[in-house]
Structure 1
């Protein structure tokens, strides 16, 4: 053994210095570690606070108690839980390349990760159904999108991902056929979610590609119908408009704006998570040779989606900005604040 080999040995750091078969730590410069912690902690805090504002706003202000907003409330709860239960532990694993929290919690963490991601896209899928009836069948919207219907949507959005995530991980169906690879990389301080070829495709299809395709199809149809309605209103006979016509025009404009906003939420979701799910499918077919840093970049791009949703609400929804001001200034604690109007007078 020459001097260079001895130097390389001294440079290797382990997750658990006094434990046999400990995983090696990813040695990074102080600058890169600091930058990564700043970015990731910033994302966690923004995700937590942004979604908390949505949760407080919709639960506190009676004006916001609508079917669509109950779905948005549940999705904000999903994103908030992700920021509390998943992202902090993923941050330490991504930066240190070590898992310090035990094998059981590794499985629970992986389950929560899959569950909350799948729950988010299920919510978005049902929100697109809600928007479909609001724009394409407005006369029957109130009778079709009732609170019991929303409760069924929420039950499906939460129950299926829970059974899917915990059932898959704890049954270990996802690692059948790749036991040799797992045994080769196994060490103390490792927490990775490995998918075999079958479940890499199935999990991505169930959690992302199937509901995502449904959403895209629904929104394309919605935009086609909305554009047709806009043309019909814009090219109608030149006559003095009645109050009901003005009201219909304003309602159509409001629904169109809400639909565009929610479609942007969906579009951001797809762009954030698409690289990760493509990687999940392809990784088993390239013998799990994806670089760890690339995997982490795609994973955190997906996490950032939970941070972007409240920002989109703030950009497009005046009620969100007004509610935020009331929360920050403490006006929300005043008596009868829940009955104050969050909408401009003309709406």
Structure 2
């Protein structure tokens, strides 16, 4: 199928003073909006399933899962309030939502973006402590400590967003097409430091350390398996489990969360089991939170 080139029109066809925009064929808009709707639905309902599967089942109430739960809430809010406007703006290239919602959209988008980055960093630190110092993790990283960390993380995101917006200004454009946030001098550098360089540096360091420790554990288990097999082979000729399987279990248990909680959760058997229970509406049965 060959589409015609877009032609130039107005954001508001009945107002020649409005901004210009590119207008595509109807079929192009249909395909784009179908894709956007599917993406939004996957984001909303996928993260909603993660939220339900962790909050409903008691055995899933662990420090790491609570961090994942909070991250899923942030992604859920993005899919509900931010993503639809962002995608429409990308397709239409015009701002149709007024001045007031421009401020709300910018504030909410920045708040949730900072919160998601903070969650990913905290999750990487959580996994780092769990892998590199498991005895400290099991004794000190409790549910109350995790909940407090989550509250501090959201407060940090709120304060950072407030300060950033306070030292910035929003422009909607003379023809009501734009909703753009402008920062003052050096504000872009500060945002880059706190939302990209520092967070991702911490994550890279955590991942690198986790990889080194996991590799060390893998070698230790390899030596243990070889010793066990050498001892048992003198008493029995029964074949034993392979080293490859052991290594796979180590990587699955020690590798950090993915950035997207949906991608992470689908790799875990407990989430797939919870998903079946949720989709079969068994969570409405008595004591369903103790099914595990």
Identify whether the pair has TM-score above 0.5, normalized to the shorter chain: yes
- 1:143 aligned onto 2:139: yes
> What is the CA–CA distance in structure 2 between the aligned matches of 1:76 and 1:23, rounded to whole Å?
37
Match of 1:329 among 259, 280, 288: 280
1:70-81 paired onto structure 2 within 5 Å:
70-81=66-77
1:203-218 paired onto structure 2 within 5 Å:
203-218=191-206
1:12-27 paired onto structure 2 within 5 Å:
12-18=8-14, 21-27=17-23
Which one has the bigger strand percentage? Answer: 2
- 1:188 aligned onto 2:176: yes
Residues 104-113 or 192-201, more deviating: 192-201
Structure 2: unaligned runs, 5 residues or longer: 1-6, 233-244
> What is the CA–CA distance in structure 1 between the aligned matches of 2:54 and 2:246, rounded to whole Å?
21
2:289 is aligned to: 338
> What is the CA–CA distance in structure 1 between the aligned matches of 2:286 and 2:209, rounded to whole Å?
44
Residues 70-79 or 113-122, more deviating: 113-122
Match of 2:190 among 198, 202, 212: 202
> Displacement, 1:21?
4.2
2:51 is aligned to: 55
Provide, for residues 235-279 of structure 1, a one-character-per-residue CA deviation record: whole Å limited to 9, x for no partner: 1372479xxxxxxxx9997664243251xx14xxxxxxxxxxxxx
- Paired residues of 1:26 and 1:95 also in contact (CA < 8 A): no
> What is the CA–CA distance in structure 1 between the aligned matches of 2:92 and 2:285, rounded to whole Å?
46
- 1:222 aligned onto 2:210: yes
Give the TM-score taking structure 1 as reference length: 0.71
Q: What SS is found at the alignment partner of 2:136?
A: helix
Q: Identify if the C-alpha distance between structure 1 residues 18 and 30 changes in structure 2 by more than 3 Å, giving closer, same or farther.
A: closer
- Paired residues of 1:50 and 1:311 also in contact (CA < 8 A): no
- Paired residues of 1:128 and 1:215 also in contact (CA < 8 A): yes
1:257 is aligned to: 252
Q: What SS is found at the alignment partner of 1:155?
A: helix
- Paired residues of 1:125 and 1:214 also in contact (CA < 8 A): yes
- Paired residues of 1:16 and 1:189 also in contact (CA < 8 A): no
Q: Identify if the C-alpha distance between structure 1 residues 48 and 166 changes in structure 2 by more than 3 Å, giving closer, same or farther.
A: same
1:111 is aligned to: 107
> Displacement, 1:196?
5.2
- 1:317 aligned onto 2:292: no
Q: Identify if the C-alpha distance between structure 1 residues 225 and 311 changes in structure 2 by more than 3 Å, giving closer, same or farther.
A: closer
- Paired residues of 1:331 and 1:337 also in contact (CA < 8 A): yes
Residues 87-96 or 217-226, more deviating: 87-96
Root-mean-square deviation over aligned CA pairs: 2.6
Match of 2:158 among 158, 162, 167: 162
Residues 65-74 or 113-122, more deviating: 113-122
2:235 is aligned to: none
Which one has the bigger helix percentage? Answer: 1
Give the TM-score taking structure 2 as reference length: 0.84
> Displacement, 1:90?
1.4
> Displacement, 1:14?
2.5
Q: What SS is found at the alignment partner of 1:193?
A: strand
Structure 1: unaligned runs, 5 residues or longer: 1-10, 242-249, 267-307, 342-347
Provide, for residues 173-210 of structure 1, a one-character-per-residue CA deviation record: whole Å limited to 9, x for no partner: 235xxx9xx69x64223212334562222212211221
> Displacement, 1:64?
0.2
1:245-284 paired onto structure 2 within 5 Å:
256-262=251-257, 265-266=258-259
> Displacement, 1:63?
0.9
> What is the CA–CA distance in structure 1 between the aligned matches of 2:32 and 2:40, rounded to whole Å?
12
Aligned residue pair count: 271
> Displacement, 1:12?
4.4
- Paired residues of 2:63 and 2:143 also in contact (CA < 8 A): yes
- Paired residues of 2:207 and 2:256 also in contact (CA < 8 A): no
